[in-house]
Structure 1
Amino acid sequence: MAASAWTYVADRCPQVEVGYPIFDPPQDAIDQVLPLLVHERQLKVLGRTMFASNLFYDLGDGRIVKTGMNTSVDEAKAMVFVRKHTSIPVPEVYMVFQHGGATHIVMELIDGVALREAAELDPDGTTSSGHSLVTDQDLASIMQQLRDFIHELRELGRRYPPTRPHFGSWPDGPFRNSYFASAPPATAFESVDAFHAYFLDRLRPLSREKATYDQLVIARSQSQESEPVLTHGDLAPRNILVKNGCIVGVVDWETFGWYPGFWEYMGIGNEGSSDRVYQAIEDVFGMTSFVCETYQFVHACLTLPYY
């Protein structure tokens, strides 16, 4: 079954309305997009320019372009795959091409606001004075929807299992995303223990982080081996687009892959968010587990220079 899932994405790419393959667009279609990738067209949300490790451009016709160091063809393939086989609202991919040494994904512009901003800002983009874009009831509903999406992805992984069980990128190979960027693993991990060992190796040279290192040693000792689960990999509030109390888009599929079961729950709370968001997460997903809390500390140690 794993082969059939990959065959669908790699060899039977759907056709967009204009009639060309998503992953092999004609040069004239690319040439129509390239002049629009200028500073003035950088995507804005609630009047604010997005700041991220990748660049986003608004083409002005209901499409945006994502490009940058973390953008890959595999991300686009993941979006096509998940959109095809689940009810998760993934932006439609229209075209993928290479230019200037970078991958460019032309996709649907979702009419929604990231949950991170929706919980903290008023409709005019200013800091909320008590009238943010989501109510407490909305937040509860959004987290319940998110829980259902996680279950869908796990079921998708059972329907289309990897040829060989591993902890790594989808459809196969080692992790290649921002969580692993500074020290890319050479191969996929064969076990949960090897997953923990990788992060211990990264923490070991950081003498100031001994407390976090020791905490991860304990988490490793308490872990049990389990099968990898298929999941988004980074369902933080910045990657959840909402409108009218509903999730209307799940974005940034560069982290899609096979992870230990705790990883997605770690990622949901692994971002500075308002107390309201944290409370909604806890109400639906429960208290943060020891291993999830540990990896939130690990991520901070490895990415924040003055943590």
Structure 2
Amino acid sequence: MALSQSIQKDEILPSIHCSTFTNTDIIAYCSDPPSTALNAIPLGRYGNSVIPLSDQEVVKYGPGVYIEEYMNLQRAYQLLDQSIVRVPQPYRFFQNGDFGYIVMEYMKGTVIGEITDDSHIEKVGKALEHLSSFRNPKPGPLGGGVSRGLLWSEGTTTEYSLYGSAEKLEHWFNRRIKHNNLSLSFQECDFVLCHLDIAPRNIVWLHGDSLCLVDWASAGYYPRIFEWCLLDIFRGRDGPFQDLVKKTLEPLTEWESANRQLIEKAWANSIRYHFPPTPPCA
């Protein structure tokens, strides 16, 4: 039975597993979803959409949905302790033209617009501490591919993949520092699991007040300071949230304190200036 035939207009789907539906069914459903589906998930609109397929699954789709996010979700779901931080189970990724589609577990809960409660902030801090306990010898998205998200100027390092190369990561940042006497080296860094988009809109509070992190598009193994810098860069956007979360994190090391401003300077310059693709020499 086609997905469009399983639902009457303005009704949420019944309890049907996504394996019942083909990619074509899902594409057709997303092209004209019922209004109740559009309003069912209280997430902000940032170019992509998330709507229920049933009472068990949702689909995230749009021009900014990529295979790297699906692979990040897969790896995070396998690694993380679900008693500390929940992650939606990913079921399927497919591409149709410029649109990507991720079918994943429906995490029913509440999104709090401004998080200030001490117990909630403490849980966010513990989740970040848990993430940073996972390390990898080389940087990049959890499943490989192109680094994407808020840290990388226009949302992606499409000029070349940074995956597996500290040298490429250094090259990307040092080009954007734009100072002859200043540069970054990541050779002595630990690359830890980072989410890189910690914000109230990406936290679903589930039954029992457990925490679920969504939107894993930016995640990867990077220096821990990257998580801190993103909180710095978007400080005040969600009230005191960013400052409160930073207080729960371990103090910065000497290297992190010395290089924090350079990382944020590179980010700012990547917004202000255009950098033609010039990958480092192999």
**TM-score when scaled to structure 1?**
0.63
What is the SS of the residue equivalent to 2:49?
strand
- Counterparts of 1:95 and 1:172, CA distance in 2: 17
Counterpart in 2 of 1:283?
A: 247
- Counterparts of 1:174 and 1:30, CA distance in 2: 24
Greater CA deviation, 268-277 or 100-109? Answer: 268-277
Given the alignment of the two structures, is residue 69 of structure 1 paired with residue 63 of structure 2, yes or no? yes
- Counterparts of 1:281 and 1:108, CA distance in 2: 27
- Counterparts of 1:245 and 1:290, CA distance in 2: 41
Displacement of 1:235 in angstroms is: 2.1
- Counterparts of 1:290 and 1:44, CA distance in 2: 45
Given the alignment of the two structures, is residue 179 of structure 1 paired with residue 151 of structure 2, yes or no? yes
Given the alignment of the two structures, is residue 151 of structure 1 paired with residue 120 of structure 2, yes or no? no
- CA 1:69–1:185 in structure 2 vs 1: closer, same or farther (change >3 Å)? same
**TM-score when scaled to structure 2?**
0.68
Counterpart in 2 of 1:302?
A: 270
- Counterparts of 1:109 and 1:254, CA distance in 2: 17
- Counterparts of 1:93 and 1:282, CA distance in 2: 29
- CA 1:284–1:177 in structure 2 vs 1: closer, same or farther (change >3 Å)? closer
Match of 1:59 among 41, 46, 53: 53
Counterpart in 1 of 2:237?
A: 273
1:43-100: CA deviation from partner (whole Å, max 9, x where unpaired): 5655xx7321322233363432112233223322322332233222111223333333
What is the SS of the residue equivalent to 1:281?
helix
Greater CA deviation, 296-305 or 235-244? Answer: 296-305
Displacement of 1:203 in angstroms is: 5.4
- CA 1:278–1:177 in structure 2 vs 1: closer, same or farther (change >3 Å)? closer
Displacement of 1:243 in angstroms is: 5.8
How many residues of Structure 1 are paired with residues of Structure 2 in the alignment? 245
Counterpart in 1 of 2:6?
A: none
- CA 1:218–1:247 in structure 2 vs 1: closer, same or farther (change >3 Å)? farther
- Counterparts of 2:172 and 2:265, CA distance in 1: 15
- Counterparts of 1:176 and 1:34, CA distance in 2: 24
Match of 2:94 among 85, 97, 113: 97
- Counterparts of 1:232 and 1:295, CA distance in 2: 17
Would you say the 8 A contact 1:45–1:113 is kept in 2? no
Match of 1:168 among 136, 140, 149: 140
Would you say the 8 A contact 2:177–2:265 is kept in 1? no
Within-5 A mapping of 1:160-239:
161=136, 165-180=137-152, 181=155, 183-188=157-162, 190-191=165-166, 195-202=169-176, 204=178, 220=184, 225-239=188-202
Counterpart in 2 of 1:42?
A: 38
One-letter amino acid matched to 1:95: R
Would you say the 8 A contact 1:233–1:259 is kept in 2? no
- Please report the RMSD computed on the Cα atoms of aligned residues, expressed in angstroms: 3.7
- Counterparts of 1:156 and 1:182, CA distance in 2: 23
Structure 2 spans left out of the alignment, 5+ residues: 1-14, 274-282
Structure 1 spans left out of the alignment, 5+ residues: 1-16, 120-133, 205-212
Match of 2:108 among 98, 111, 114: 111
Counterpart in 2 of 1:131?
A: none
Would you say the 8 A contact 1:174–1:185 is kept in 2? no
Would you say the 8 A contact 1:89–1:248 is kept in 2? yes
Greater CA deviation, 56-65 or 251-260? Answer: 56-65
One-letter amino acid matched to 1:276: P
- CA 1:113–1:285 in structure 2 vs 1: closer, same or farther (change >3 Å)? same
What is the SS of the residue equivalent to 1:71?
coil
- CA 1:107–1:85 in structure 2 vs 1: closer, same or farther (change >3 Å)? same
Q: Work out the percentage of aligned pairs sharing the same amino acid.
A: 20
- Counterparts of 1:246 and 1:270, CA distance in 2: 28
What is the SS of the residue equivalent to 1:254?
coil
Counterpart in 1 of 2:22?
A: 29
